[in-house]
Structure 1
Amino acid sequence: MLELRVAALDHPDAVLLNDEVQAWYRQVYGDGDVSLLGVAQFAAPQGVYLIGYDEHGRAVASGAWRPVDADPGDPAVRDGDAEIKRMYVVPSARGHGHARTVLAELERTAAVAGRRRAILETGTEQPDAMRLYAASGYHPMPNFGAYRNDLRSRCFCKPLAE
């Protein structure tokens, strides 16, 4: 069972999980995530940052969304988009559906906040993530934002229920 709690991006457990995923990115890709994140971007009602805790109270999963709107210089992004960020499950907790649980709650809260579409980026070295997003109803879209010209990036989108 996974207990989801809303937290701030600078919460100690969020910092720990973010540090872990950044270390993994550096190991696999040679660098960390290039997109800049600010605490206010994920503070309700603007966005949401979730931490998932296992039955022992350990922080084992995270995910977030932040609002993004159309940008004339980035035609892939639309008004009403919610960008999914920091999806991560610690290796010892994988295979229990935690990523699906986090993703579903992110989609739900983004829709409640009036966001119309979820968008996200993952990398070519993350086939499990790409399978998760495809199985969750996401479709490929043009790369956007900081990932627009990154050949290692794969971007996906999904309409959100109103």
Structure 2
Amino acid sequence: MSDIEIRPARFESPEVQKVVAEALADLSQRYGGSGDDTPVTMSDFDPPDGAFFVAVRDGTLVGSGGWRRHGSDAELKRMFTTPAARGLGVARRMLATIEESARVAGCGRMILETGYLQPEAIALYESAGYRRIADFGHYAGEDGVRSYARDL
């Protein structure tokens, strides 16, 4: 795992947008449509109200994720690990980095939306101490939505 570096990145950078497009394509294969219609702007992850990170292995982006402020909470968005890097612990390290960033920024809780067709994501979040909460955000009330939170 030491050959994978987690580092801050600008959400609007072309290399980040390439991995985000891969994440959305993965979601599209699972759910159809665009993969995620949640409104996200390029500035959502700008400090102090957010942050975005990438995982890099051998000069290639193999993961991404960030948080944006949602009231007093931080909302986890665009969490993704490329197929080639799955099973290496990238997502767990990314999640810990994102949580620490949000905690330092004064957020008391991390919230997220995922879906029933992402069992690996659900398993990660539950093993990291996340618990189901009432659905919120863009997909509140939709079948298959799974919303979670964890105190930071």
Look up the match of 1:64.
Answer: 66
**Percent same amino acid at aligned positions?**
39
Q: Please, what is the CA RMSD of the aligned residues?
A: 0.8
Look up the match of 1:85.
Answer: 77
Look up the match of 1:141.
Answer: 133
Deviations, residues 80-138 of structure 1 (Å, cap 9, x unaligned): 10000001000010001000000000000000000000000111000010000000010
Q: Is 1:42 aligned with 2:45?
A: yes
Supply the distance in 2 between the matched residues of 1:87 and 1:41 (Cα, whole angstroms).
14
Q: TM-score, normalization: structure 1?
A: 0.89
Deviations, residues 7-48 of structure 1 (Å, cap 9, x unaligned): 111112211111111111111101221111112110112100
1:62: how far off? 0.3
Which 4+ runs in 1 deviate beyond 2 A?
none
Q: Is 1:109 aligned with 2:95?
A: no
1:52: how far off? 0.7
Supply the distance in 1 between the matched residues of 2:47 and 2:137 (Cα, whole angstroms).
23
Supply the distance in 2 between the matched residues of 1:148 and 1:115 (Cα, whole angstroms).
22
Supply the distance in 2 between the matched residues of 1:46 and 1:22 (Cα, whole angstroms).
23
Letter in 1 for 2:120: D
Supply the distance in 2 between the matched residues of 1:10 and 1:150 (Cα, whole angstroms).
29
Supply the distance in 1 between the matched residues of 2:125 and 2:29 (Cα, whole angstroms).
23
Structure 2: stretches of 5+ with no match in the other structure: none
1:21-32 matches, cutoff 5 A? 21-31=23-33, 32=35
Look up the match of 1:74.
Answer: none
Deviations, residues 40-65 of structure 1 (Å, cap 9, x unaligned): 110112100101101x1110000000
Look up the match of 2:55.
Answer: 52
Q: Helix, strand or coil: the match of 2:7?
A: strand
